[in-house]
Amino acid sequence: MISEFLGELTLAFGGGSDERFPTVVAADDFDAARDAARIETAIKTKGVDEQTIINVLTKRSYPQRRDIAFQYEKRTKKDMISALKSALSGSLESVILGLMKSTPQYDAYELKTSMKGLGTDEDTLIEVVCSRNNEELAEIRKVYKEIYKTELEKDITSDTSGDFRKLLLALAKGNRVGSSGIQDFERIDQDARDLYDAGVKRKGTDVATWITIMTERSLPHLQQVFLKYKSYSPYDMQESIRKEVKGDLENAFLNLVQYIENKYLYFASKLQDSMKGKGAKDKTLTRIMVSRCEVDLLKIRTEFKKQYGKSLYKTIIEHTKGDYQKALLSLCGSDD
Ligand SMILES: [Ca+2]
């Protein structure tokens, strides 16, 4: 009874989905008209004054950036996003145009782009679908339909197949229950055993059971399930996935488990992967910095330093250059 009560207390402080740890916040003493004038001058400057564009747009909240765009259009009779698009290029352009979208718009855009044309960018698709909570997914689905005139689920269905498709669709629906704050030890034990029975214990894999448990239970519950799992299985959950399934399905389950175990570390490790060796994988680096800067980049930064012994800020300096680097550092906020 007492341990159950203590368990309840621990989980109650486990955090809800509405917690925000942004590095980019609303600017005080904000004047949209003044900022719009600065952007106009910066775009008109010969060779373009990228520094001013970066200084303004990476240091405002999304609603403020929208206000600036509104004021810009009012004074110039031109669309600010189109103007920025012609003024900028390369990775800096991707960052700035990304910032002109709201977080759900940006996620929807990344999803659409990952499925556009021939072939699929599975890594992007997996990352976004695995790592957004119910509320975020609901927003993404809504925005996706508004902008692209089609359901997200429909595009996923036509672009993927088999169990991989089933897993992505289950995730995209956003059926994960919220944390009740109560540790249900029987349910934890049952789910751990079911995951084991459905995979390592039997011939083949009962993927449907894995999908149900991993997409419908709360994150704090699943963290306990994966710990308990080790008392049944000789392999931990990630090792079990590697043994049981292959290809995109394996990749998706691994992403999902890593996200469930520690979501901040999940993004930190993606950032680290994007900056391995020389240079950087700009696409991944940009996506995470832009999509998390107004959500939880502060926590990701802390986790990054803890895990890799070097700050995200210094790592960005080492692996990027020029105006792109300036924009990323500004989104990063400060050194740890
Ligand atoms: Ca098996």
Span 132-148, pLDDT tens digits: 999 999 999 999 999 99
Distance, CA of 161 to CA of 167 (rounded, Å): 10
CA of 223 to the centre of ligand 1 (A): 22
Residue 204 confidence class, pLDDT cut points 50, 70, 90: very high
CA of 168 to the centre of ligand 1 (A): 21
H-helix or E-strand spanning residue 228: helix 219-229
Looking at residue 181, what is its pLDDT? Answer: 86
CA of 269 to the centre of ligand 1 (A): 28
Looking at residue 182, what is its pLDDT? Answer: 87
CA of 200 to the centre of ligand 1 (A): 4
Supply the mean pLDDT for the chain.
94
CA of 233 to the centre of ligand 1 (A): 11
Residue found under tokens 């429909």: 154
Looking at residue 256, what is its pLDDT? Answer: 98
Say what the pTM is. 0.92
Looking at residue 2, what is its pLDDT? Answer: 45
**90-102 tens-digit pLDDT:** 999 999 999 999 9
The mean per-residue pLDDT over the stretch 9-37 comes to 77
**138-179 tens-digit pLDDT:** 999 999 999 999 999 999 999 999 999 999 999 999 999 988
CA of 231 to the centre of ligand 1 (A): 17
CA of 83 to the centre of ligand 1 (A): 55
pLDDT tops 90 at residue 7: no
CA of 156 to the centre of ligand 1 (A): 27
CA of 256 to the centre of ligand 1 (A): 19
Of the candidate ranges 76-80, 241-245, 275-279, the one whose mean pLDDT is the lowest: 275-279
CA of 158 to the centre of ligand 1 (A): 28
Half-sphere CA count of 87, side-chain side, radius 13 A: 24
**Phi and psi of 234, rounded to 5°?**
-70, -15
CA of 202 to the centre of ligand 1 (A): 5
Residue 18 confidence class, pLDDT cut points 50, 70, 90: low
**53-74 tens-digit pLDDT:** 999 999 999 999 999 999 999 9
CA of 185 to the centre of ligand 1 (A): 25
User: How far from chain centre, in Å, is Cα 224?
Assistant: 23
CA of 287 to the centre of ligand 1 (A): 35
CA of 229 to the centre of ligand 1 (A): 15
**Phi and psi of 124, rounded to 5°?**
-65, -45
CA of 214 to the centre of ligand 1 (A): 17
Looking at residue 15, what is its pLDDT? Answer: 39
CA of 267 to the centre of ligand 1 (A): 29
pLDDT tops 70 at residue 297: yes
CA of 192 to the centre of ligand 1 (A): 15
- Which residues, in sequence order, are CB contacts of 310 under 8 Å at separation 6+? none
CA of 278 to the centre of ligand 1 (A): 39
CA of 201 to the centre of ligand 1 (A): 6
Looking at residue 277, what is its pLDDT? Answer: 82
Report the percent of the chain where pLDDT is more than 90. Answer: 90
- Which residues, in sequence order, are CB contacts of 179 under 8 Å at separation 6+? 11, 14, 16, 218, 219, 220, 221
Q: Which domains are assigned to the chain?
A: 32-88 (1.10.220.10), 103-173 (1.10.220.10), 185-261 (1.10.220.10), 263-332 (1.10.220.10)
